[in-house]
Amino acid sequence: MAELVTVPIRPRQSAVWLAEQLTGVAGIWNRSRSIRVTGRLDTDLLDRAAGHVAARYEELAVGFHDVDGRPAAGLRTSPAIPVRVVDAGDDWCEQATYDACSAFDLATGPLARLVVYRLGPEDHVLVLTVHTIAVEAPAVPALLADLGLAYRALSESGNLDVVLPHRGGTEPAAKDGADVLSYWLQRLSGVPTVTNWPSDRSASEFGSGGAVRSVLPRELFAQIESLAAQLDVPWPTVLLTGLRVLLYRHTQQTDLLIGVPAEADLLACSPDTLLPARLDLVDDPAFRDAVLAEAAGHCADRARTGLSLSLLSRALRPESDLLSNSLVQVAFTVAAPVDNGTWGGLDAMPVQLPVRRSESELGVQVSVLDGSAEIEWTFSDSVLDTGTVEGFAARLTVLLADAVRDTTRAVSALELLTSADHRYLAEVEGRNTAIRRPKSMGEQIGVWVDSTPDAVAVRHNEAQQTYRELAAVSDAVAGNLAGLQLPPETPIGLLLPRAVELPAVIWGVLKAGHVCVPLDPEHPVDRIRYVLDDAGVSLVLTAAEGRLDLPEVKQLDVSELVVPQTDRVARPVVQPDALAYLLYTSGSTGRPKGVGVTHGGLANNLWATRELMRVGHGQRVLAVTTISFDIAMLELFLALVSGGETVIASREEARDGQALMAALDHWRPDIMQATPLTWQMLFLCGWTGAPQLTVSCGGDVVPPPLAARLTACTKSFWHTYGPTETTMYTACQPIETGDQPRILPIGRPLPRTWLRILDGSLRPVPPGAVGELCIGGAGVARGYTGRPGLTARQFVPDLDVPGARIYRSGDLARWRPDGRLELHGRNDRQVKIRGHRIEPGEIETVLASHADVELAAVAVTGQGDARRLVAYLQVRRGTQPARLRQEIKALAVDRLPAVMVPSAFGIVDPMPVQVNGKIDRAALSRMLPPRPDDAGSEAPDADEAWVLGAWSRVLDDDVQGGDFFAVGGDLPRAAQVRHLVRRELGLDLPLRTFVEAATATALAQRLRQARLAGAVPAPGTIRWLTDGSGQTPLVVVTSDEHGRGLAEKLAGNAQRRVGILDLAVDDPVAVLASGSTAVLVAVGADTPAVLAIRDQLTERTGLTPPVLVVDAPPRNPLGPGPIAYAAVEGPDEWMEQWRGATGEVLIARVPDDIDVPRRLAALAAAVE
């Protein structure tokens, strides 16, 4: 390597160096320029020209090194642009793309290269690639041009007398930093820094990149130029405004930052010199007004340049997610004009290579050629995919065409969807109104009354009722009610116990043309009285033992109604749009509201469920839900419209997990519907599943681990979704067995139901974008009883189906590419923390994925700038709260953006739950919130103590805990911590690890993971000897009690696959040959046997592997040799060494009566 002379490193170069260390993605900071030349090319002359030009660019002589975790620059004496010639074939473009993305060695250089792809004797493609740490992106075309000038001089005169422009030099001085920073602090106050991309990918993971190219039609581009001239703004401003509106319509974020160059014409510049352009579209301006506002804002911003974007990011968002590495995730630039012409005296034309990297989440660069505009969309594939970006490109053309056609239209009203979008939505939304209306519920049951009158229809405890008896009781109830001569649709309260007559009574009320108002006898009397008053109930059907002190209403014992009338009274013919029942939902205001469900909606849901789930004659449905919730109607009547049996669980069975488990075993139902909490309750009680059972689950978010467990132990699992306002549920799908996605899809709409995802103006959002889920079709309720205003707000006209209404659910959703629906929380649960919109449900899903967390809920506490997220956890019995809090915090830090990590974690036992099985969030809000986590609240373990010591050295302060970036750390100092880890612990971890794991606990866990993966020593507790580093350790536990405890703990850890090897019966060589073993844990071996095994291994293999002997005090350490000793109290301390370990663990349980040394020797030999 050439001799190095230290030179100052520039701030921009330091930022690029850190960014490359952070991303760890090869080629992301490479920039290329490509041309295709025709004519005779002398590569020897080209090589000389490259050496001459390299000398003119002083940055190309600099190498960049890691010195104690800091970037340092060293000047090499031999700058160069090496030239490589490749004889290429038809795949030259793919090869050139790969070469252009290949990494540079920043330390040794060179940091530029020129590759010549020879396609023919006089046909070559030249690809110049540089690293932007040496040459900024805008200078790459100039560098290629200089190469052409030098080559031409050599080819024409044989010398290099040509005068090249001076390149390189120091960076321009900044303007008054205080004034500029003050301007930007005010300009960008409160702006969000996270873009809600229409994708299920996570920005916490770095990827490479991709590109999509699109072309604006020539006529459209001419109209854009004309509009720009009318408004007296540069034409790129019109495109920039169109891009902003496009992103707003996809993300529902009116306020986004877009990085733009400082020049008026927006010509491309270095990414770090972009200006964060801001324009809030919250007032829904006309497009022309938005263009003018964009231009005015850019003009003001241009007067306050001088601070790099990275410096602005650190100044404005010190607490933000450093993985984003910038204030902006979108960049918009205009490429310098390029014309076909000559290069080095040869005919030349530009070549565009496919992009394989992106430093922005989305980059948009416009090139103008021959009167049309070509747009290159580069993107990071960690947050976006090709299909999504292709949609952006196609919709921008539609949006701009509509905008220039009528510039006075509001930006929210501009046409956005393409013809392909309309076809896709028409297919997935389910708007098929041609499906015939099913028979009424009574007619569907009547089929089985006629065909199987003596078959059992309903069971409860020991009582049962046949279909004949079911119809007779319902007729009696209907006839007696008709004899009262009540007006049609009279609301009748049902205050009844869970009994075999319950379905018949409900059916009888419906036959009579009246409206059921189901009530729960265990609800507070005040709530029952409120419902009766709000619904206008004057008659309540009760049982003798369930009468309440309600003098304001008439209470009629249901036993008086089940006796057939002697005088037949005509009953009305009930129409599908007549009300069937009123169900009262809790409501976010705390005041219940009655939802009026129609006969048509009820009949459609029962028919559709029967068809989709293939419920057939003789099948049993176990009903567990109180009748005051709408899904109880499905549980009571699904079997009856299918010729099966409804088994009504007792109140005790519905509430108690052990009792319900016994009922499942006794009745062996074919179908059961329940909330996620009910299924979790069963598992906690030891339920192992039922192979004949079809499970239906909805009503609340279903955690993916619960779904995976249900699919594994039942016949099938149906995920359902639907609010009361659209009759029980409106979408469903069976879930396949196996690992489940981060967000469990809810499938497709029921027949005669349609689902639409709309924005705030009730216009369709693009496919894949998140919007409000609106539901139309047969299940839509009549509305809220006695609340016309609320009904009008929530039940609105469907603009695409004349005469139809849709219900605004308030749920956020998106269409997946496969046409299934995916929920993304609720409008009314979104919270805003430091400018970021956050959906607590996403956080809850991550927290609930921990094996020891049974339930998780996230709430917001505090006001204004003091608002923070807190988590409430219900955990498994026997867990250690302090340690669990640390694990959960580490899990959250690993899986969530920093702003979404709760500041505190409280243990709740039990979690407050409503009677419908949902978490009682109102009760949580009344609890005293947990204190913010303090990493120093308990004594740190050895790894944590080392981390805190390293932080203290780097920050020159006594750090006792907390978040690294909150106690003074930043990215450069994180790189210094990384250096200490590499030098002192022998662990080489990527820089992003030190950003993601920002607490001592989290980083200590990462160190343990890395150490276990590579057999690297831990500070303090366990020291593997240097001569054994990298070898597979032989781990021996010398105590039966503690060893078996360790084995049981590892085997019981659901987050780790564990192989159990019994040395008495298994062949260790065969097991190890399968390749599944990372670590050996032998139980019951004595110390002499361990030493004997080590000696045998040394003799047979020439290696002395590290050996760890774990023993219980008061035994003494073993003798000298490559053996480490750790005194531990038991399995819990052992688990500290294995916590978070990846891969599989083999546990060798060694009986006392076998030849331990021989068996262990065989194991060790097999490992080697």
| Average pLDDT score over residue span 863-875 | 76
Question: Can you give the pLDDT at residue 327?
Answer: 73
Question: Can you give the pLDDT at residue 175?
Answer: 46
Whether the predicted pLDDT of 739 surpasses 90: no
Question: Can you give the pLDDT at residue 1083?
Answer: 47
Three-state SS string over 628-655 comes to: CCCHHHHHHHCCCCCCCEEEECCHHHHH
Express each pLDDT in 241-290 by its tens digit: 999 999 999 998 999 999 888 776 666 555 556 788 999 999 999 999 99
| Average pLDDT score over residue span 819-846 | 74
Question: Can you give the pLDDT at residue 515?
Answer: 96
1064 — pLDDT class (breaks 50, 70, 90): low
Whether the predicted pLDDT of 634 surpasses 80: yes
Question: Can you give the pLDDT at residue 993?
Answer: 82
510 — pLDDT class (breaks 50, 70, 90): very high
| Average pLDDT score over residue span 913-931 | 69
| Average pLDDT score over residue span 609-637 | 93
Q: Is the dihedral of CA 821, 825, 827, 832 positive or negative?
A: negative
| 228 contacts 238 by C-beta, under 8 angstroms | yes
Report the distance separating Cα 948 and Cα 861, nearest Å. 29
Those residues whose C-beta lies under 8 Å from the C-beta of residue 995, and which sit 6 or more positions away, are: 22, 322, 323, 971, 974
Question: Can you give the pLDDT at residue 138?
Answer: 66
Express each pLDDT in 688-732 by its tens digit: 999 999 999 987 778 888 888 999 999 999 999 999 999 998 999
Report the distance separating Cα 764 and Cα 745, nearest Å. 20
Task: Read off the tokens for 738.
Answer: 């196996």
- Of the ranges 3-12, 736-745, 966-975, 1106-1115, which is most confident? 736-745
Going from N- to C-terminal start, the domains of the chain cover 4-157, 187-338+353-416, 441-674, 843-933, 942-1014, 1026-1167
Whether the predicted pLDDT of 298 surpasses 80: yes
Query: What is the greatest pairwise CA distance in the chain?
Result: 122
Express each pLDDT in 313-348 by its tens digit: 655 554 444 444 467 889 998 876 655 678 888 888
Q: Which CATH architecture does the domain made up of 942-1014 adopt?
A: Orthogonal Bundle (1.10)
Strand positions, DSSP E, 370-520: 372-380, 456-460, 463-466, 491-495, 515-518
| 616 contacts 590 by C-beta, under 8 angstroms | no
Whether the predicted pLDDT of 125 surpasses 50: yes
CATH superfamily of 187-338+353-416: Nonribosomal peptide synthetase, condensation domain (3.30.559.30)
Angle at 776 between CA 771 and CA 781, to 5 degrees: 115
Between 1069 and 81, residue with greater pLDDT: 81
| Average pLDDT score over residue span 73-77 | 74
The lowest-confidence range among 109-113, 506-510, 822-826, 1090-1094 is 1090-1094
Question: Can you give the pLDDT at residue 132?
Answer: 81
DSSP letter string, 1083-1135 = ES--HHHHHHHHHHHHHHHS----EEEEE-TTPPP--SSSEEEEE-SSHHHHH
The lowest-confidence range among 331-340, 663-672, 756-765 is 331-340
H/E element, 886: helix 881-895
How large is the C-alpha radius of gyration of the chain? Answer: 36
| Average pLDDT score over residue span 902-931 | 74
**Cross-strand bridge partners of residue 50:** none
| Closest among 830, 862, 1031, 1014 to 932, alpha carbons compared | 862
Q: What SS3 class is residue 717? A: strand
| Average pLDDT score over residue span 396-400 | 97
618 — pLDDT class (breaks 50, 70, 90): very high
| Average pLDDT score over residue span 289-304 | 91
DSSP letter string, 216-258 = E-HHHHHHHHHHHHHHTS-HHHHHHHHHHHHHHHHH--SEEEE
Task: Read off the tokens for 654.
Answer: 């519905």
Whether the predicted pLDDT of 4 surpasses 70: no
Express each pLDDT in 770-793 by its tens digit: 999 999 999 999 999 999 999 999
19 — pLDDT class (breaks 50, 70, 90): confident
Between 1086 and 424, residue with greater pLDDT: 424
Angle at 966 between CA 23 and CA 942, to 5 degrees: 85
DSSP one-letter code for 829: G
The lowest-confidence range among 473-482, 589-598, 1023-1032 is 1023-1032
194 — pLDDT class (breaks 50, 70, 90): confident
CA atoms within 13 A on the CB side of 784: 20
Calculated CA dihedral for residues 1105, 1109, 1110, 1113, nearest 10 degrees = -150
Count of C-beta atoms within a 10 Å radius of residue 554: 13
Question: Can you give the pLDDT at residue 1028?
Answer: 32
Q: What SS3 class is residue 600? A: helix
| Average pLDDT score over residue span 871-879 | 84
Those residues whose C-beta lies under 8 Å from the C-beta of residue 587, and which sit 6 or more positions away, are: 593
Report the distance separating Cα 701 and Cα 698, nearest Å. 7
Angle at 481 between CA 477 and CA 485, to 5 degrees: 165
**Cross-strand bridge partners of residue 376:** 213, 365
Question: Can you give the pLDDT at residue 1121?
Answer: 34
852 — pLDDT class (breaks 50, 70, 90): confident
Count of C-beta atoms within a 10 Å radius of residue 987: 19
Question: Can you give the pLDDT at residue 329?
Answer: 85
Question: Can you give the pLDDT at residue 160?
Answer: 75
Whether the predicted pLDDT of 501 surpasses 50: yes
Question: Can you give the pLDDT at residue 173?
Answer: 40
Alpha helices (runs of H) in 536-656, residue ranges in sequence order: 599-613, 631-637, 651-655
Question: Could you tell me whether strands 372-380 and 456-460 are parallel, antiparallel, or unpaired per DSSP bridges?
Answer: unpaired
Report the distance separating Cα 1012 and Cα 838, nearest Å. 36
537 — pLDDT class (breaks 50, 70, 90): very high
Angle at 725 between CA 724 and CA 729, to 5 degrees: 50
Question: Can you give the pLDDT at residue 315?
Answer: 57
The predicted model scores a pTM of 0.69
CATH number of 843-933: 3.30.300.30
Whether the predicted pLDDT of 1008 surpasses 50: yes
Report the distance separating Cα 243 and Cα 273, nearest Å. 20
Whether the predicted pLDDT of 600 surpasses 60: yes
| Average pLDDT score over residue span 893-921 | 75
| Average pLDDT score over residue span 461-482 | 94
Report the distance separating Cα 159 and Cα 151, nearest Å. 9
Quickly count helices (H) and strands (E) in the chain: 34, 47
Question: Can you give the pLDDT at residue 878?
Answer: 75
1096 — pLDDT class (breaks 50, 70, 90): low
CATH superfamily of 441-674: ANL, N-terminal domain (3.40.50.12780)
CATH number of 4-157: 3.30.559.10
| Average pLDDT score over residue span 532-545 | 91
Task: Read off the tokens for 490.
Answer: 């009279």
The lowest-confidence range among 636-645, 812-821, 1127-1136 is 1127-1136
Distances (CA, A) of 851 to 549, 874, 875, 971: 48, 12, 9, 33
H/E element, 469: helix 467-483
Q: Residue 62 burial by CB count (10 A; 0-12/13-18/19+): exposed, middle or buried?
A: buried
Question: Can you give the pLDDT at residue 926?
Answer: 66
Whether the predicted pLDDT of 1052 surpasses 50: no
Question: Can you give the pLDDT at residue 864?
Answer: 52
| Average pLDDT score over residue span 370-396 | 90
- Neighbour-count burial for 909-942, b at 16+ CB within 10 Å, e otherwise: eebbbeebbebbbeebeeeebbeebebeeeebbe
| 457 contacts 474 by C-beta, under 8 angstroms | no
| Average pLDDT score over residue span 396-407 | 97
Report the distance separating Cα 120 and Cα 417, nearest Å. 45
Question: Can you give the pLDDT at residue 1017?
Answer: 35
Question: Can you give the pLDDT at residue 904?
Answer: 84
Residue with tokens 């007779």: 472
| Average pLDDT score over residue span 232-249 | 96
Distances (CA, A) of 609 to 747, 817, 824: 14, 25, 25
Report the distance separating Cα 962 and Cα 965, nearest Å. 9
Angle at 829 between CA 740 and CA 747, to 5 degrees: 35
The lowest-confidence range among 71-80, 213-222, 372-381, 678-687 is 71-80
Kindly report the average pLDDT of the chain as a whole number.
79
Share of the chain above pLDDT 90, in %: 35
Q: Sheet holding 1080-1083: strands in order across?
A: 1058-1062, 1145-1149, 1080-1083, 1034-1037, 1107-1111, 1123-1127
The lowest-confidence range among 137-141, 175-179, 868-872, 983-987 is 175-179
Question: Can you give the pLDDT at residue 916?
Answer: 60
Whether the predicted pLDDT of 1061 surpasses 60: no
Those residues whose C-beta lies under 8 Å from the C-beta of residue 101, and which sit 6 or more positions away, are: 26, 27, 30, 208, 356, 357
CATH topology match: 441-674 vs 843-933: no
Question: Can you give the pLDDT at residue 1102?
Answer: 52
Express each pLDDT in 1104-1140 by its tens digit: 545 555 443 333 333 333 334 343 444 444 444 444 3
CA atoms within 13 A on the CB side of 478: 23
1030 — pLDDT class (breaks 50, 70, 90): very low
CA atoms within 13 A on the CB side of 495: 30
Whether the predicted pLDDT of 297 surpasses 50: yes
Q: 921 phi and psi, to 5 degrees? A: -75, -30
| Closest among 828, 860, 829, 861 to 842, alpha carbons compared | 829
